[in-house]
Amino acid sequence: MKNNSRRRFIQQTALATAGLSLPGYLSANPFLRNLAGVSANDKINVGLIGCKGMGWSNMQAHLKMPEVNCIALADIDQRVLDERTANVKEIRGNTPTQYKDYRKMLENKDIDVVIIGTPDHWHCLNMVHAVEAGKHVYVEKPLANSIEECNIMVNAANRYGKQVQVGQWQRSGQHYDDAINYVKSGALGKIRLVKCWAYQGWMQPVPVKPDSTPPPGVDYAMWLGPAPTRPFNENRFHFDFRWFWDYAGGLMTDWGVHEIDIALYAMGAKAPKSVLASGGKFAYPNDASETPDTLQTVYDYEDFNLLWEHATGIDGGNYGRNEGIAFIGNNGTLVVNRGGWEVIPEKEQQDGEWIEKVERKALQEPAGNALDNHAKNFIAAIKSGDSSMLNCGIETGSVAAINAHMGNIAYKTGRKVNWNEASGLFTNDDEANELLKANYHNGWELPRI
């Protein structure tokens, strides 16, 4: 922020334009008229690190608010930088500054907010360096690629006092709020089991490809960052990084954080007592990916169990849905996913008749755009200076990520692992505790807070 008037604006101004939305992807001309009433001093200047995929989706959601201005883009791929520079110019008419090294971007004093859309293994360094530089942060999920990094990131946000929103945008979907409130009402009776799942029929085998040279304009050494040094392989680059342990945790962390987050929030739980996982590469045993394409994970909490399951190549998930959460109670089951929520009652016999124990609720469909709402919520929290307003602050994001990583650790060890919440360690399990750690390479060092 350039001056005190901008600081006062961000701290005091209500989010008057919160209802504004842009239809999909559009040119600048119609929208630029809405920017006329926003002075330069009232702008919230944003830089984006990692400009492909969800990084760009998040940037678009923020640019639907006229006070948000994209002034910088950082990416290791020059082709992506050029494409997104043209996109910003089309939407807003300005040309953001390009950076191949995000650290140079963070030196720009005019940037107020940083959006992080890099692969998971970069999130910790990006986020910690950003808050150290005085920036607020919107960071993609999962929060980090290890439990150790999650804890470091929470400590950094608290030390530097910046607003940090995690991209678990289901937290900003009104129908999820409605479903959670229903679960908390007690109408379902005692909830003994929560099921979470992601069945992804669109996912086909990752074909085995030979190592090659990086595409022109790609700084591959920077892309690797703290990950182990390996020859460039197209399978590990851009979207498919998710299926390799060096950079991410597969569907367990990619989808799991979304669904487990809602489950734990509704149940008022944070840490399991134990975790047991079983699965493997059953669908595509010979493809190039490393993470399991089929997995079942059982979490034991204080008075209920949570079951996570995922599968690639099929859509036949629970209750006819390819993703979702089911809260299974003595009186009925509530099922919620991105398409809405419903209540399926249990029945009991009374005077010779079968009576539903709770009122059946037909599908309650979603309204509005949850990703847009998540961005609006973040900007509103920045303006108010109140982190309690965040729908998915960093502590919330860390709970979901830590639980998801526990599932992967149980899978890797091949046994039930027992968690000690007080110590933040697994009980009497050196192998599992070693998997809590982040192992950095190539001269990059884990941040110390």
Question: In angstroms, what is the C-alpha Rg of the chain?
Answer: 22
Question: Would you write out the chain's pLDDT as a tens digit for each of its 449 residues?
Answer: 444 434 433 333 333 323 333 334 444 444 455 565 566 667 999 999 999 999 999 999 999 999 999 999 999 999 999 999 999 999 999 999 999 999 999 999 999 999 999 999 999 999 999 999 999 999 999 999 999 999 999 999 999 999 999 999 999 999 999 999 999 999 999 999 999 999 999 999 999 999 999 999 999 999 999 999 999 999 999 999 999 999 999 999 999 999 999 999 999 999 999 999 999 999 999 999 999 999 999 999 999 999 999 999 999 999 999 999 999 999 999 999 999 999 999 998 888 888 999 999 999 999 999 999 999 999 999 999 999 999 999 999 999 999 999 999 999 999 999 999 999 999 999 999 999 999 999 999 999 98
Give the SS3 label for residue 343: strand
Ordered DSSP codes for 407-441: HHHHHHHTS-EEEETTTTEETT-HHHHHTTS----
Q: Are 233 and 207 in contact (CB under 8 A)?
A: no
Q: Are 106 and 112 in contact (CB under 8 A)?
A: no
Check if 4-171+372-393 and 173-368+398-434 are the same fold.
Answer: no
Question: What pairs with residue 364 in β-bridges?
Answer: 341
pLDDT of residue 353: 87
- CA dist., res. 225 & res. 407, Å (int): 25
Dihedral of the alpha carbons of 18, 22, 27, 29, in degrees to the nearest 10:
-50
Provide the residue count of the chain: 449
Question: What pairs with residue 341 in β-bridges?
Answer: 336, 364
Instruction: Enumerate residues 6+ apart whose C-beta is below 8 A from 295.
Output: 250, 251, 252, 277, 278, 279, 280, 308, 309, 310, 311, 407, 411
pLDDT of residue 34: 54
Q: Give domain limits for the chain.
A: 4-171+372-393, 173-368+398-434
Residue 185 DSSP one-character state: T
- CA dist., res. 255 & res. 246, Å (int): 18
pLDDT of residue 17: 29
- CA dist., res. 367 & res. 58, Å (int): 19
The CATH classification of domain 173-368+398-434, taken from the options 3.30.70.20, 3.30.70.3400, 3.30.360.10, 3.40.50.2000: 3.30.360.10
Q: Where are the alpha helices (DSSP H) in 133-287?
A: 147-160, 174-184, 220-224, 250-254, 256-267
In three-state form (DSSP H/G/I as H, E/B as E, the rest C), the secondary structure along 130-173 is: HHHCCCEEEECCCCCCCHHHHHHHHHHHHHHCCCEEECCHHHHC
pTM assigned to the model: 0.91
What values do phi and psi take at 260, rounded to 5?
-65, -35
For residue 383, the tally of other CB atoms under 10 A from its CB is: 19
What is the CA 335 to chain-centroid distance, rounded? Answer: 21
For residue 390, the tally of other CB atoms under 10 A from its CB is: 23
Fold of the 4-171+372-393 domain: Rossmann fold (3.40.50)
